[in-house]
Amino acid sequence: MPYIEGAELTPAVIEAMRDGDPAKIASAMGMDIIFPKNNELFIDIDDTPSSLRFYEAMRRLRKLGCNFVHTLNTPSKSGDVKRHMIVKTPWPLTPMECIAWQAALGSDRDRTIMELLDLRAGKRTPTCFFEVK
């Protein structure tokens, strides 16, 4: 079952989550769903320390000559300081590399664990964002 922090668990959302189809979940929540391209990382920031970790990791990558580009920063449906960041990499990534880079850049640890478990079980493309329409 996909990890969706702050999701309002209406009967339609619960049914969609049982099915495990992210598109159905987004529809039930009245949200848009976006999936990364093969050179994009989706970073789910939950708090100020994670945000600071993200920007520090991006600085380190630049110093190491990695041309990662931070392309999007939007508020999460969950609100507060929670943000969705998109980072483009100069090369294509496997799903496992995607999860590893996202973790290294400070993405939500609970989400990362669920993505790893989903990937191992072969359930679905593990990474997506639910965005407010």
Residue 1 lies in a domain: no
- Residue 87's DSSP bridge partners are 41, 70
* SS3 per-residue string spanning 54-115: HHHHHHHHHHCCCCCEEEEEEECCCCCCCEEEEEECCCCCCHHHHHHHHHHCCCCHHHHHHH
* Residue-number span of the structural domain to which 96 is assigned: 36-124
**Total tally of structural domains belonging to the chain:** 1
Residue 98 lies in a domain: yes
| Digitized pLDDT (tens) for each residue of the chain, 133 residues in all | 444 444 555 666 555 555 667 777 777 777 778 888 999 999 999 899 999 999 999 999 999 999 999 987 877 766 677 888 999 999 999 989 999 999 999 999 988 898 888 888 887 666 777 777 6
Q: Residues near 43 by Cβ (< 8 Å), separated by ≥ 6?
A: 54, 84, 85, 86, 87, 102, 105, 106, 107
The distance of Cα 128 from the centroid of its chain, to the nearest Å, equals 6
Residue 22 lies in a domain: no
Residue 81 lies in a domain: yes
Residue 30 lies in a domain: no
